[in-house]
C-alpha cells in the first residue's frame, strides 16, 4: 500500500491554505508573539502611592460662592457705593451724564495702562479717541487697545448680551485674536461663565477677569479682561446710569492675580470699592466745576463757551484741535475762548509749552 501526502491545495475552500506550500510552517497565533506590546489599560495610573488632590474645575463656582459668602459685608458695601454712582449718573440730564460716563472711561483706561505697563498719558489717549491722532511709534498697538477699551466702557452691549458665547465674541470684536484657537478660547470662557449664574455680578466679573487672563494670549488680554469684567459687573445697576464698575482709578489692587480664590475676591472687592468711591468724589468735583464755569461765563456771547464747558466736562484733557472739532467753532474762536476760560481761573494749561498745548478743568 503506497503512502500519499495531501497538500493544502487539496482543500479549495480554504484560501489561506491554498497559498501555503508543502514545507511552510504552521501559522502561529498572535497570542504567542511575545515581542508585541500588550493591551494598554484605559486609565494607566503612573502616579506614586500617597494622598492625591481631588479633581475639580479650575474655576469652580462653588469655591467662588463660598468666598463670596465670607465677604458678604464687603460686597454689600461695594454694591451700595456702586448704587450711589449709578444713581448719580442716571439722575442727571442725558447729555451731561453721557459726558461724565465718557470722562470716567478715559480715566479708567489711562489708569489701566499703569497696570499693564503701557502707560499711555490721558492727553495722548484723548487725542487718539477724539481725533485718531498720535498712534505712531512702538506703542501704536497699545494706543489702539486703549481706544478700544474706552469705546467698550462708554457704550454698547456688555459681554453677556445675547448669551455668553455670542456676547463675548461681539464684545471682543476685531480686538480679539483670530483663528480656530481663539474661537475655542471664547467657547471655554463662555462655558465657565455659564456655570456661574448663581453668583453675584461682582463675583462673576472677578471670575471672568481671571479666567480670560488665564485662557487668552497676547498683550491685549489684560485690557480685554478688565474691560469685560468692568462691564459685566455693572449689570447689578438699575440701568441707564453707570455702564461699568471702576477698577483701576485708585491703583491695581483689584487686578492682582496672586493667591487663592478668597484672596483674589477680597482684593477685587476692596480695589473696586476704593475705585467707585474715587469716581463719586471725582464726579462731585467736576459737577461743581461745571456749575461754577456756567455761572462765570454767563456774560460771554455765542455758543462756543458753553460747548467748551461741556467738552471739558467729558474730556479730562483738551487740545485746541479737539476743541475745534467738539465745538464746531473755528480754530481761532476755540483758542480765544480757551484763553478766556484760563484767564478767569476755570481751566489751566498743563504742558507749559508754547505749541501743542493742552487744557484741563480746574476742579
Mean pLDDT by runs of 10 across the 363 residues of the chain is: 46 53 61 61 60 67 96 98 95 87 97 91 91 78 92 95 94 65 82 94 97 77 95 92 96 93 97 98 96 96 94 95 94 95 96 88 92
- pLDDT recorded at residue 218: 53
- pLDDT recorded at residue 28: 56
Domains and CATH numbers, the chain: 61-283 (no CATH), 297-361 (1.10.10.10)
How far apart are alpha carbons 249 and 81 in whole angstroms? 15
- pLDDT recorded at residue 96: 87
- pLDDT recorded at residue 5: 45
- pLDDT recorded at residue 2: 46
How far apart are alpha carbons 169 and 162 in whole angstroms? 10
- pLDDT recorded at residue 240: 83
SS3 for the chain, per residue? CCCCCCCHHHCCCCHHHHHCCCCCCCCCCHHHCCCCCCCCCCCCCCCCCCCCCCCCCCCCHHHHHHHHHHCHHHHHHHHHHHHHHHHHHHHCCHHHHHHHHHHHHHHHHHHHHHHHCCCCCHHHHHHHHHHCCCCCCCCHHHHHHHHHHHHHHHCCCCCCCCCHHHHHHHHHHHHCCCCHHHHHHHHHHHHHHHCCCCCCHHHHHHHHHHHHHHHCCCCHHHHHHHHHHHHHHHHHCCCCCCCCCCCCECECHHHCCCCCHHHHHHHHHHHHHHHHHHHHHHHHHHHHHHHHHHHHCCCCCCCHHHHHHHHHHHCCCEEHHHHHHHHCCCHHHHHHHHHHHHHCCCEEECCCCCCCCEEEECC
Amino acid at each position: 500500500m503506497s503512502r500519499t501526502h495531501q497538500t493544502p491545495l487539496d482543500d479549495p475552500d480554504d484560501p489561506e491554505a491554498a497559498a501555503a506550500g508543502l514545507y511552510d510552517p504552521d501559522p502561529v497565533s498572535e497570542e504567542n508573539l511575545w515581542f508585541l506590546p500588550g493591551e494598554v489599560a484605559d486609565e494607566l495610573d503612573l502616579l506614586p502611592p500617597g494622598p492625591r488632590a481631588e479633581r475639580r474645575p479650575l474655576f469652580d463656582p462653588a469655591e467662588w460662592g463660598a468666598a463670596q459668602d465670607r465677604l458678604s459685608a464687603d460686597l454689600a458695601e461695594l454694591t451700595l457705593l456702586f448704587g450711589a454712582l449709578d444713581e448719580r449718573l442716571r439722575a442727571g440730564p442725558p447729555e451731561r451724564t453721557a459726558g461724565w460716563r465718557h470722562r470716567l472711561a478715559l480715566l479708567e483706561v489711562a489708569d489701566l495702562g499703569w497696570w499693564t505697563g503701557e502707560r499711555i498719558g490721558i492727553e495722548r489717549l484723548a487725542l487718539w479717541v477724539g481725533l485718531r491722532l498720535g498712534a505712531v511709534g512702538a506703542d501704536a498697538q497699545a494706543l489702539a487697545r486703549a481706544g478700544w477699551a474706552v469705546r467698550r466702557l462708554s457704550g454698547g452691549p456688555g459681554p453677556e448680551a445675547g448669551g455668553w458665547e455670542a456676547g463675548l465674541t461681539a464684545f471682543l470684536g476685531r480686538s480679539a485674536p483670530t483663528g480656530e484657537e481663539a474661537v475655542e478660547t471664547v467657547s471655554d470662557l463662555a462655558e465657565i461663565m455659564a456655570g456661574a449664574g448663581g453668583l453675584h455680578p461682582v463675583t462673576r466679573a472677578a471670575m471672568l477677569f481671571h479666567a480670560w487672563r488665564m485662557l487668552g494670549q497676547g498683550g491685549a488680554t489684560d485690557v480685554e479682561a478688565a474691560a469685560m469684567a468692568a462691564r459685566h459687573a455693572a449689570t447689578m445697576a438699575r440701568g441707564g446710569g453707570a455702564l461699568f464698575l471702576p477698577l483701576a482709578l485708585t491703583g491695581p489692587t483689584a487686578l492682582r492675580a496672586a493667591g487663592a480664590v478668597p484672596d483674589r475676591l477680597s482684593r477685587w472687592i476692596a480695589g473696586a470699592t476704593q475705585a467707585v468711591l474715587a469716581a463719586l468724589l471725582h464726579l462731585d468735583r467736576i459737577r461743581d466745576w461745571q456749575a461754577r464755569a456756567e455761572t462765570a461765563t454767563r456774560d460771554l456771547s455765542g455758543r462756543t463757551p458753553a460747548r467748551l464747558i461741556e467738552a471739558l466736562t467729558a474730556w479730562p484733557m483738551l487740545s485746541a484741535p479737539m476743541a475745534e472739532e467738539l465745538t464746531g467753532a473755528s480754530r481761532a474762536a476755540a483758542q480765544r475762548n480757551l484763553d478766556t476760560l484760563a484767564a478767569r481761573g476755570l481751566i489751566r494749561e498743563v504742558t507749559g509749552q508754547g505749541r501743542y498745548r493742552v487744557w484741563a478743568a480746574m476742579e
